[in-house]
A and B are shown apart, each in its own frame.
Chain A
Amino acid sequence: MLELSNVSTSIQGTEILRDVNLKVGKGEMIGLIGRNGAGKTTLNRTIMGIQPANKGTVVIDGQDMTKAGAHERAKLKVGFMPEDRRLIPALSVEENILLPAWANDIKEAEARLAWIYELMPEVEGFAGRKALQLSGGQQKLVALARALMSGVHILLLDEPFEGVAPALSRRLLEVIKTLKDEGLSVLLSESDYTHSADLVDKVYLIERGSVRLDEAS
């Protein structure tokens, strides 16, 4: 589904990712564990094409997408939930969720929206509200819902539990567990194993931009 080979990424001349090799198979849930500043967000951004790779290849669904822009990668049904949520404040919750469906011409958008509401009924409760009126925790849920709209094949979750109240963390965990059961390929980035220990099939450790497979996982 997703394969990175010898990927290096620099930001303003500083090498952030060094020869990263990583693989997420079909229906696998992969953990990416590393401290703050280790390069998790840069890795997610490189996979999404927001931050271009200096070298190496990014293959999604068997296609070499190294040179492709973010919107082209999203069209391969890759969903991204960034750490800082990044909802569009002027749009309603439902419009935020449906935006990728329109952009990627997802035919089964309504059915998918119904599935998302079934998965997270609380989101349907505030679907008509503007994103700017939501609390931080609610925004996390909506960001996940939006990622699920386009993330039919692969889902990238960048620190989904960061800065979230314990009750909501548990709720997010439940949802992510369901996604695993649904057979979605997920790359779950976290700073420690607190939430993902029982969830993931494999763990990659990231430190100072270098990634290695945790053999113990």
Chain B
Amino acid sequence: MLSKNQIFVVAAAALMILAGLVMPYWFSFLVTVALAKGLVVLGLVILMRAGLVSFGQGLYYCAGAYAVGAFSDYFQTDNVLLLVLVAIVCGLVISSIVGLLLSRYRDIFFAMFSMAFSMILYGVLVKSAALGSSDGFNVTKPSLFGWAAEFNGTNLLSYWVAIILACVAGAIIWRYMRSPMGMTGEAIRENEIRVEYLGVSVQKIIYIKYIIAAVLASVGGSITAMTVGHIDPEMAYWTTSGEFVFIALMAGTGHVAAPLIGAVIFELMRTFAFQLSPYTWQMILGIALLSIIIFLPNGLWSLTDKFKKGAN
């Protein structure tokens, strides 16, 4: 039997899938890219709940996107399931190697090392002519066994895939957060020594969390690549990783839905800020973040707690 919350999520997902048929293209595009970024932020939130801030999730976001681009180009395939799978494997392989080193570090060292690895990928891609150097290259539009899901001239497949993946990932991470391993994240953030003497290998837990976050970031990158149709090394640049941290701070870490909803709000805010003030839109975003930090230090999601308290 499904719980009330599960029924609500399934209904909301179904509604959003149907809404894609009538919503304007710009909005479905915005939501798709936002959900892709939301998946990256969801991974970041897992790390943040364990007291780690990564400034290098761009590494996996970019690696996932490039894996999709290179694979579809080399094997001449546009199958969305296969491409997402390739991104997952790519994130898994890279993070299981990089994670061996990073899981030993904490605080600023973790943040800087993660950023360094991301910048190494950026440097490699910029110098790599075969991968389009700083211009990047185009990625083919996805299909599901040849079906491109074209409605009124709009390719809705990426949008639908993004919604389904966001729901599935959200549900899995929600379960994970409530599992003993998920809960140890909070314990590690509080004090990792006490977790060690209870029999938990903190390094192993962080290693696993790092891999989960990397896989989510790779999936996010793959969706972005298929939606935008173009990839470039900027996806690995530190400002991209900073954007994920920005969304995480803005949304809060209180619930798995927070990063997904936060990413949509961020993209909307950025779109309208850019339209309103093309030369100073960053200032609008900065003021928004500053206001949230001052008035809602636990992020936008903390508003739900306030509403709940108010209702009681």
Contacts and interface: CB of A to CB of B under 8 A. Distances in A.
Interface residues of A, number: 25
B30 interface: no
Contacts of A86: 191, 194
Contacts of B202: 71
Contacts of A71: 196-202
Nearest to B201: A71
A121 interface: no
Interface stretch (B57-65, B68-76, B179-187, B302-310): B179-187
Contacts of A183: none
Interface in B189-240: 190-191, 193-202
Nearest to B186: A90
Contacts of B195: 88, 99
B199 A150 contact: yes
B190 A70 contact: no
A69 interface: yes
Nearest to A146: B198
B187 A99 contact: yes
B193 A99 contact: no
A49 B202 CA distance: 14
A86 to B, nearest CB: 4
**Residue from A73, A88, A100, A146 having most chain B Cβ neighbours under 10 A:** A88
A89 interface: yes
B201 A88 contact: no
Contacts of A80: 197
Interface string A51-93: 0000000000000000001110111000010100010111100
B201 A69 contact: yes
B200 A88 contact: no
B198 A103 contact: yes
Contacts of A99: 180, 183-184, 187, 195, 198, 200
A99 to B, nearest CB: 5
Interface in A96-141: 98-100, 102-104
A74 B190 contact: no
A95 interface: yes
A102 B180 contact: yes
A103 B196 CA distance: 10
Contacts of B183: 91, 95, 99
A100 B198 contact: yes
Interface in B139-187: 180-181, 183-184, 186-187
A100 B199 contact: yes
Interface string B21-50: 000000000000000000000000000000
A70 B187 contact: no
A89 B187 CA distance: 8
Interface string A170-197: 0000000000000000000000000000
B190 A89 contact: yes
A154 interface: no
A80 B190 CA distance: 18
B309 to A, nearest CB: 16
Given A91-B186, A102-B180, A103-B180, A82 B198 contact: no
Given A99-B180, A99-B184, A50 B190 contact: no
Interface of B: 180-181, 183-184, 186-187, 190-191, 193-202
7 contacts: A71-B197, A74-B197, A88-B194, A89-B190, A91-B186, A100-B199, A103-B198
Given A91-B187, A104-B199, 9 more contacts: A50-B196, A71-B196, A71-B202, A88-B187, A89-B190, A90-B187, A91-B186, A100-B199, A103-B180
List the 9 shortest-distance A-B pairs measured between CB atoms, nearest first: A74-B199, A102-B180, A103-B199, A70-B196, A104-B199, A103-B200, A88-B187, A86-B194, A70-B197
